[in-house]
Structure 1
Amino acid sequence: MTSHEPTPEALRRTIAELVDEEPGAIDENANLFALGLGSIAVMRLIGGWRRGGLMVNFAELAENPTLAAWTGLLTARTPETPAGAETETEAEDGEKDGGRYGDGGEGAEFPLAVMQHAYWIGRTDGQRLGGVAAHLYTEFDTAPGQGVDPAVLRTALERLVERHAMLRARFTDDGRQRIEARSGWRGLTVHDLRGLDGPALERRLEDIRQTLSHQLLGIDRGEVFSTALSLLPGDRTRLHLDVDMVAADAVSYRILLADLARLHTEPDTELPAIDYSYRQYRAARPEAARTAADHWRERLPHLPGAPELPLAPEPDRTAAARVTRRHFVLGPEARGRLTEAARRRGLTPAMTVATAFAEVIGAWSATPRFLLNVPLFDREPLHPHIDRIIGDFTGSVLLDVDLTEPLPFADRAHAIQTRMHADMAHADHSGVEVLRDLTRRAGEQVLAPVVFTSALNLGELFHPTVRAAFGDPVWIVSQGPQVLLDAQITELGGGLLVNWDIREDELAPGTAEAMFGAFERLVHRLAEDGPAWDLPVDDLPPAAQPAARARANDTGRPRRDRPLHQDFFTLARRNPHAPALLWGDDGTMTYGDLADRALRVAAALAARGVRPGDPVGVTLPKGPGQAVAVLGVLAAGGSYTPIGVDQPPARAARITETAGLSVTVTAGHPGPDAAEDSGRALPLPAALQVPPLPAPVSGGTGEPGDGTDDDPERPAYLLFTSGSTGEPKGVDVPHRAVVNTLDDLAERYSLGPGDRTLALSALDFDMSVFDLFAPLSTGGAVVFPDQDDRRDAARWAELARRHRVTVLNCVPALLDMLLTGANDPGDSLRLVLLGGDRVAPELPGRLAAKVPGCRFVALGGTTETAIHSTVREVGTVPPHWHCVPYGTPLRNVVCRVVDHLGRDCPDWVPGELWIGGDGVALGYRGDPGRTADRFVEHLGRRWYRTGDQARWTPVDGIEFLGRRDHQVKIRGFRVELGEVEAALTADPRVRSAVALAAGSPAALTAAVVPAGAHSASDTTPEALREALRDRLPPHMVPDRITVLDAVPLTANGKTDRAALAALTARQSPGPARTAPGTPLERAVAHIWQQTLGVKDVAADEELFALGGDSVRATGIIARLREALDAPQASVRMLFAAPTVAGLARALAAAHPDPGRLERVAQLFLDIEALSDDEVATRLDAARAPGQEDGR
């Protein structure tokens, strides 16, 4: 494109050439993107027009991409000299170069480009996904008889280094670069492997590959590329080429290879001269537009985070950063079909593949909205020779992908393409700079480690001359710092080469393979130009995963429908003298006595008009009376509704009203229950005076007096749980559901007459249903603590020993209390069943130490799914468990884990747990809206949406991750409180921990209970926070930790988070601030304050929390070196010790004379304290003639 205004005819010809069409075939109102005009081509057009003074931007062109619109836009613009642009003469003379970066001579330093700086910083250790180079490694194999001559190749490489200045670049340790006269290249390494064959040859080649493909070149020594040549049998060779992308981007890589091939095959040919340099380009490049920066800063509060892909458990991650390449090739015909299908829908091939990538990432991400990092190849045509030089010309855009709403694929692609075009208009403020802005905002480093790179319209990756010279590429892998996954598409052999370079060890096992397989399948489906374009994307997990879940959900067993209480009355007739209830030191009640009393209550209720299905309240203290009342209600055909004796009167009244209770069984003495004063009370002592009903028999009529109810769908009990609105919600659970649960556990764990349970759970908590009916349906007995003993673990242990308790079913907190200190439950305990809350991974070991041989079982479930739905027996606890998994479904129960659209999540991906099958309740009493929302139909089955976050895992089945309301946002990061709690309890000093989010904006706090012999004095908050920094990212380390003797519990034995929040707020002071002490600490703090623009930096505050980022870190190090004469200071040191105190210690440790460093620091502080006038006066005095030293 010429520098003057392009005519409509010239514009038409240019566009036609770019989209491979005849000029006359392009309608002036046709969508040019739909014709195949890619974003890279548009950016090149913009660059040419800008160079000619026509200032247009991407957003303007993307708004109406037609010939007519573009012609009008260009015609309306008056050519002007763009700010920062230079003429060829200026470039050749180096005038601007000298003006901005010094004299421009060889060896003069100049700044790193934005992306170069990101690569340079990312090489340092101590950062998430850091410590690696951005480099591209390729191997080329020749055919037999066509091996490369090492001498000829060496000469060509030497000429290549001479030709390209950036191959002689050296990168300084304070973040700058300069061109040296000589390169740090180590020369061509030759491996003579001609004497090897078969497995020995393959092993040696693999060793070379592993060494070179993951190396960290010494760019501080000027080593920006490496070359090796392996001589193979049969006159074959393999060329190993590794290029660090800090010196050469993807386009530069193509230039290097093409030049090398020509220098190798045509050694006597002179390549076209290069009269321009990367250094000149960097000097002439316009600075980032302020409007672009403003655009992104306005969006910062609304930008999502990176995709939350399932990561490997910490113990399974490898220390070495290893990248695996996965790839597939879309052949020329398939590429043509894909391109044509995209064009017809107004899409570019690049955005089509990007959308497929986004859909796959979204399916494996915990959140449907996330950022993709999209590199841009952005060479401004500032000089005729710009396409001959190498360097880093890349920019990037952070693409905001929102998959919240279900859309057909084509519509999704249009939305993503529109977003991409809009953001590219503001790409002068690059994605790297946006990440720095986000880092300063968040107070810790923010990454965008999932990358999508399109090299379409850049031409073939390997020019035919390259293949002719060195053979076919047989291995390619790229690596990047702070990159988890880099997907790339490029042209190869007329088709598309699609690569994923991925740190597989960072991801959960099998995740990389599953994701890539889904991506490949989706791209091929799109290339078939079938219905995939017009439907929402679904069925992405590999076939093996739904098959494994189908096996786990294959739980169907014959169901024996009967009332919940039937087995008890049958056993009472058969063995009336067997003990049924035990309490206190010697309290006992036989099956016969219990049945008689229950039938008297049933008769009294029938006399009050209770009919089958009617709810009946039960308000009684812990003890045998509860069992009498519950069995009496069931025998009368009613459903029992427990109301705790300690319930506030107002809440008890709401439960009574919502349930529609006409009668409530009470203790018969004044108490807090609403029934006492309402005329609805049936005192238990009075009921026991009524003649009993006949004992229920199977197959009865279901009428009062028959004493039975054979309808399995009739409610057995109505339990009220806490609602999110504060109003209690009543769950109607049918006989069918609860009998299914109890039958499974009774059979699975051989419950029988010899078993005795300890009934710790409150009657209005659903775990009490097992406590009562599991033993009473199998001939066992129930042991009751007194109401006053319900929080006395020592008394529980005494009861367990006295009555030889064999089965304990409770929430984890109650087992924790029972195992604490000197409590001894005795040796009769054979089975512990835990449910109702997260089960800490340390509990199985503590139980085994206290009661060897006792089986430990974790159960998952909800009140709405009849107590328990899943089971996992635990032996050895793996080190990566945050909590004991839920495991697999019980009989006749099925489970799903679904995303926000109701699609099944892949393995390891968190979603909402749905439970279906025979255990599902009827719904919420008197609340059809809530029932319709939580109880849903899917594929002919009724499901309960639990609201719990869970995930399927290949080995452990379902893993519970926590309540959805236990996921909080801290400084923009999503935090799972359970993960913080697991990290705290992994500390041997901590027995239990609870994490909370409190205040506005939310701050992360935690409460801990010391373990064993540890006390509050040796379990200090500061020590715990320091330990957490090794286990958790900064935003997950609590701002405040409170040490308690015990965690407050609700009446059901669960953690009382509301009480705990109030308690920690009263007891915990804010985090203590430690002022810098030594001169060195004060000097470091002073430099931080100057660089970061903050005041009062504490010795233990972290760099990122103060608004630091990688650029400011570089500035801090440069200032430290200058001010303190400390050449040992490095960015690596700062990232490893990101506090004032930590950096001061590291500087002193690395200095040969720490004492001198302290003295220099004090001198620096003294000088900094002087005013400008005082400094000038002292300098004048020092220069005054005749001034005598010391006088």
Structure 2
Amino acid sequence: HTRHQHHRTYWTHHLANTPTLDLPTDHPHHPNGERPGARRSLRLGADTVRALTALAEARSTTLYTVLLSGFAALLSRYSGQEDIAVATPVANRPVAAFERIVGLFANTVVLRGELRGDPTFGELVDRMRAVCHEAFDRQEVPFEQIVEDLAPDRNLSRDPVAQVMFVLQNAPAAESVVEDVRLRLTPVDPGRAKFELSLVLAEDGDGLAGYLEYRTDLFAPATAARIAAALVRLLDETARQPQQRLSALPATGPGDLRQLAAWNDTTRPYDPAGVVTLVARQASRTPGLIAVSDEDGERCYSYAALVEEADRLAAALRRRGVGRQQVVGICLTRGPILVVAALAVLRIGAVYLPLDPEHPIDRLHDALDRARAVTVVTDLGTEEQMGARWPTVPVDGPPEGAAIRPVATEPDELAYALFTSGSTGRPKAVAVTVGGMSHLVQFMADRMDLGPGDRMLASTTVTFDVAVTEMFAPLVRGAQVVMVGPDRHRDPVEVARLFAAPTTTAVQATPSMWEALVRSGLGPGTAFAISMGEPLGATLAGRLRDLGYRLHNMYGPTETTVYSTGEEVGTGTPTIGVPVWNTVVHVLDRFLRPVPIGVVGELYVG
């Protein structure tokens, strides 16, 4: 009795505050008494098993402990956790007298592995050896009693204490005879899973064979296949190099590596010229087409007029002494003239800084100060906001001299700068290169399949980086930019009307705006519709698709020039898609190692 109490006390302390293993699943956890399951077979070859057995002997332990260590290492890489609890069945026949008694004595023991500090695999085996010795010496305490003693907060959708199991069986003979009874082992798949994942292995000739049992209400078959393949690869690697640290061990199978490489195979030729050159070339091809207009078509510029007006303003800026790569603020009332001003700044090789005249004056001045702006392009409605601190250039001033020759900028020179929203603190400055901007507008023009006759609405504020797509992607393909005016671009009812117009062929908005548009009566439409800036939910995506919009979900940090990944949204939960042209993305763990497909990590863009 005293021994039993001591063992109960050990388990209570040893398993106290055991964290729940949070593996990434394909489906959410929910209470399910049926626990539907399936199995994915796997095999370890003879060479790998021999090497793992030799490692066990060198570490004064068993093959079981080495395999358990490999399983724990993989679970750690998949979950990002370093405190891993694995259940295992034990025979629970501690004395010889029990060996000939017919009946089920088996118990479940929880092995809690500590993986902190990024140990080598050999060091992890040493840790797990100690854990196994302590646990198996105290195996007679019923698991149910341990759970009762621990009294964990119960969640009907999760198993208490341990959510995964590991089993290594001694392979029985295929057939045996007891007196006159012939016994034959028959594998049975019950179609259910005892745990979220269970790894079951047994001797198979000189190797090991078995299966990964998984709950099908949590994991898709493809995910189980990836986990099984990753485990085999990890054990193969540790068999060859047990001195490697856990962070250096592979956590992906060969198929995953090929898939990741395919997703990042994004090389695509594009014109290295800057936006100024691209727009000028388009203007020479379609001089009479409308390049930019307001939503009513009352104020508009043809392609020829756009270049002419940009030249006029560029000459004025140069006359004021604005030089190459100097920053010019643009603080204008919304309208087609915004595109003229930005193009004018780019034509002299300077850097444009868009400003929203609706922002507080202190914020406008702070942005100009931090960007070291040399002048500001203004109109009658915004000139007073600048005060006397910065010289201003009127956007609608008289012609000043002959047309200028555009400056030939290099791809790594700057095209524009802007400041983030400041929602998490002081707005941060971001500068984007000529090459990055040119690449973006060419990619987006191709993605939206823009051409003469297409009309893209420009409804986002000019200080939002996605405005670059609206203002310039149409202009490199002969399409039309439709600038939504200051009284309408924040009005969901008016924007909804414009989005659904049959003449509108491309639009973009955040999910918050899309929700507001739907609530405001957004009608059916056929436009190429971009959702960006926030996570896009499946319900909203379904409603937009049902209305007929060709929905694409785009993602990207401002620093990587607006968009880095994207996908056309189908059924199911939208993702951020795959990399855009000439872009690679990697999801890495804290050791900068690739995480398996479906596993949470930090996104790196290049």
User: Under TM normalisation by the shorter chain, which class is it?
Assistant: 0.7 to 0.9
Match runs of 1:810-829 below 5 Å = 810-824=509-523, 829=526
Residue 593 (structure 1) aligned to one of 305, 309, 313: 305
Residue 684 (structure 1) aligned to one of 394, 398, 404: 394
- 2:257 corresponds to 1:546: yes
Residue 863 (structure 1) aligned to one of 534, 546, 558: 558
Alpha-carbon distance between aligned partners in 1 of 2:348 and 2:544, rounded to the nearest angstrom: 41
User: Are the counterparts in 2 of residues 639 and 717 from structure 1 also a CA contact under 8 Å?
Assistant: yes
1:765 alignment partner, SS class? coil
Give the residue type in structure 2 aligned to 1:888. V
The change in CA–CA distance for 1:682 and 1:835 in structure 2 (over 3 A counts) is same
**What corresponds to 2:41 in structure 1?**
326
**What corresponds to 1:909 in structure 2?**
599
Give the residue type in structure 2 aligned to 1:617. G
**What corresponds to 2:57 in structure 1?**
343
Aligned-pair identity in percent equals 26
Alpha-carbon distance between aligned partners in 1 of 2:201 and 2:421, rounded to the nearest angstrom: 52
Residue 529 (structure 2) aligned to one of 818, 821, 832: 832
Residue 397 (structure 1) aligned to one of 110, 121, 126: 110
**What corresponds to 2:374 in structure 1?**
662
**What corresponds to 2:467 in structure 1?**
768
Match runs of 1:232-243 below 5 Å = none
1:790 alignment partner, SS class? coil
Per-residue CA deviations over 1:1043-1063 (Å, capped at 9, x if unaligned) read xxxxxxxxxxxxxxxxxxxxx
1:893 alignment partner, SS class? coil
User: Are the counterparts in 1 of residues 238 and 249 from structure 2 also a CA contact under 8 Å?
Assistant: no
User: Are the counterparts in 1 of residues 38 and 192 from structure 2 also a CA contact under 8 Å?
Assistant: no
The change in CA–CA distance for 1:897 and 1:500 in structure 2 (over 3 A counts) is same
Give the residue type in structure 1 aligned to 2:478. G
What displacement does 1:911 show?
Answer: 2.7
Alpha-carbon distance between aligned partners in 2 of 1:366 and 1:822, rounded to the nearest angstrom: 44
Q: Which has the larger radius of gyration?
A: 1
Relative to its length, the structure with more helix (as a share) is 1
Per-residue CA deviations over 1:1028-1054 (Å, capped at 9, x if unaligned) read xxxxxxxxxxxxxxxxxxxxxxxxxxx
Alpha-carbon distance between aligned partners in 2 of 1:426 and 1:433, rounded to the nearest angstrom: 13
Match runs of 1:300-319 below 5 Å = 300=17, 303-312=18-27
The change in CA–CA distance for 1:419 and 1:863 in structure 2 (over 3 A counts) is farther
Give the residue type in structure 2 aligned to 1:612. R
The change in CA–CA distance for 1:538 and 1:606 in structure 2 (over 3 A counts) is farther
The change in CA–CA distance for 1:574 and 1:471 in structure 2 (over 3 A counts) is same
Alpha-carbon distance between aligned partners in 2 of 1:581 and 1:803, rounded to the nearest angstrom: 18
**What corresponds to 1:636 in structure 2?**
348
Match runs of 1:119-268 below 5 Å = none
Per-residue CA deviations over 1:301-331 (Å, capped at 9, x if unaligned) read xx3221414335899x997724426353665
Structure 1 stretches lacking a partner, 5+ long: 1-82, 86-285, 696-705, 917-1191
The change in CA–CA distance for 1:467 and 1:664 in structure 2 (over 3 A counts) is farther
Report the TM-score, using the length of structure 2 for normalisation: 0.85
**What corresponds to 1:962 in structure 2?**
none
Alpha-carbon distance between aligned partners in 2 of 1:671 and 1:467, rounded to the nearest angstrom: 101
User: Are the counterparts in 2 of residues 406 and 901 from structure 1 also a CA contact under 8 Å?
Assistant: no
Per-residue CA deviations over 1:1051-1085 (Å, capped at 9, x if unaligned) read xxxxxxxxxxxxxxxxxxxxxxxxxxxxxxxxxxx
1:628 alignment partner, SS class? helix
User: Are the counterparts in 1 of residues 193 and 214 from structure 2 also a CA contact under 8 Å?
Assistant: no
Alpha-carbon distance between aligned partners in 2 of 1:633 and 1:427, rounded to the nearest angstrom: 77
The change in CA–CA distance for 1:690 and 1:509 in structure 2 (over 3 A counts) is farther
The change in CA–CA distance for 1:474 and 1:839 in structure 2 (over 3 A counts) is same
- 2:271 corresponds to 1:581: no
**What corresponds to 1:694 in structure 2?**
403
What displacement does 1:742 show?
Answer: 2.0
Give the residue type in structure 2 aligned to 1:660. R
2:552 alignment partner, SS class? strand
Give the residue type in structure 1 aligned to 2:10. A
Shifted more, 317-326 versus 633-642: the winner is 317-326
User: Are the counterparts in 2 of residues 453 and 489 from structure 1 also a CA contact under 8 Å?
Assistant: yes
Match runs of 1:439-454 below 5 Å = 440-441=152-153, 446-447=158-159, 448-454=162-168
User: Are the counterparts in 2 of residues 409 and 532 from structure 1 also a CA contact under 8 Å?
Assistant: yes
User: Are the counterparts in 2 of residues 361 and 515 from structure 1 also a CA contact under 8 Å?
Assistant: no
1:742 alignment partner, SS class? helix
- 2:5 corresponds to 1:292: no
Per-residue CA deviations over 1:984-1023 (Å, capped at 9, x if unaligned) read xxxxxxxxxxxxxxxxxxxxxxxxxxxxxxxxxxxxxxxx
What displacement does 1:770 show?
Answer: 0.9
What displacement does 1:355 show?
Answer: 1.3
Alpha-carbon distance between aligned partners in 2 of 1:428 and 1:568, rounded to the nearest angstrom: 79
Alpha-carbon distance between aligned partners in 2 of 1:788 and 1:722, rounded to the nearest angstrom: 21
Alpha-carbon distance between aligned partners in 2 of 1:484 and 1:310, rounded to the nearest angstrom: 10
The change in CA–CA distance for 1:544 and 1:294 in structure 2 (over 3 A counts) is closer
**What corresponds to 1:603 in structure 2?**
315
User: Are the counterparts in 2 of residues 616 and 641 from structure 1 also a CA contact under 8 Å?
Assistant: yes
Match runs of 1:998-1077 below 5 Å = none
Residue 796 (structure 1) aligned to one of 489, 495, 517: 495
User: Are the counterparts in 2 of residues 619 and 642 from structure 1 also a CA contact under 8 Å?
Assistant: yes
Alpha-carbon distance between aligned partners in 1 of 2:515 and 2:288, rounded to the nearest angstrom: 35
Structure 2 stretches lacking a partner, 5+ long: none
Alpha-carbon distance between aligned partners in 1 of 2:487 and 2:27, rounded to the nearest angstrom: 47
Alpha-carbon distance between aligned partners in 2 of 1:428 and 1:641, rounded to the nearest angstrom: 72
2:221 alignment partner, SS class? coil
**What corresponds to 1:899 in structure 2?**
589
Name the Cα RMSD after superposition: 3.8
What displacement does 1:772 show?
Answer: 0.5
**What corresponds to 1:362 in structure 2?**
76
What displacement does 1:764 show?
Answer: 0.9
Match runs of 1:924-1003 below 5 Å = none
What displacement does 1:760 show?
Answer: 1.0
User: Are the counterparts in 1 of residues 560 and 605 from structure 2 also a CA contact under 8 Å?
Assistant: yes
The change in CA–CA distance for 1:385 and 1:618 in structure 2 (over 3 A counts) is same
User: Are the counterparts in 2 of residues 338 and 349 from structure 1 also a CA contact under 8 Å?
Assistant: yes
The change in CA–CA distance for 1:597 and 1:293 in structure 2 (over 3 A counts) is same
Alpha-carbon distance between aligned partners in 2 of 1:292 and 1:593, rounded to the nearest angstrom: 84
Per-residue CA deviations over 1:1162-1182 (Å, capped at 9, x if unaligned) read xxxxxxxxxxxxxxxxxxxxx
Alpha-carbon distance between aligned partners in 1 of 2:25 and 2:384, rounded to the nearest angstrom: 50
What displacement does 1:499 show?
Answer: 4.7
Per-residue CA deviations over 1:608-651 (Å, capped at 9, x if unaligned) read 44332223222223222322221122112122222322334444
Give the residue type in structure 1 aligned to 2:468. V
The change in CA–CA distance for 1:327 and 1:776 in structure 2 (over 3 A counts) is closer
Give the residue type in structure 2 aligned to 1:914. Y
Residue 222 (structure 2) aligned to one of 488, 501, 510: 510
The change in CA–CA distance for 1:531 and 1:733 in structure 2 (over 3 A counts) is same
Per-residue CA deviations over 1:16-54 (Å, capped at 9, x if unaligned) read xxxxxxxxxxxxxxxxxxxxxxxxxxxxxxxxxxxxxxx
How many residues were matched structurally?
599
- 2:507 corresponds to 1:808: yes
Give the residue type in structure 2 aligned to 1:589. C
2:597 alignment partner, SS class? coil
Give the residue type in structure 1 aligned to 2:392. L
**What corresponds to 2:580 in structure 1?**
890
Give the residue type in structure 2 aligned to 1:682. T
The change in CA–CA distance for 1:608 and 1:304 in structure 2 (over 3 A counts) is farther
Report the TM-score, using the length of structure 1 for normalisation: 0.46
User: Are the counterparts in 2 of residues 602 and 692 from structure 1 also a CA contact under 8 Å?
Assistant: no
The change in CA–CA distance for 1:830 and 1:288 in structure 2 (over 3 A counts) is same
2:593 alignment partner, SS class? coil
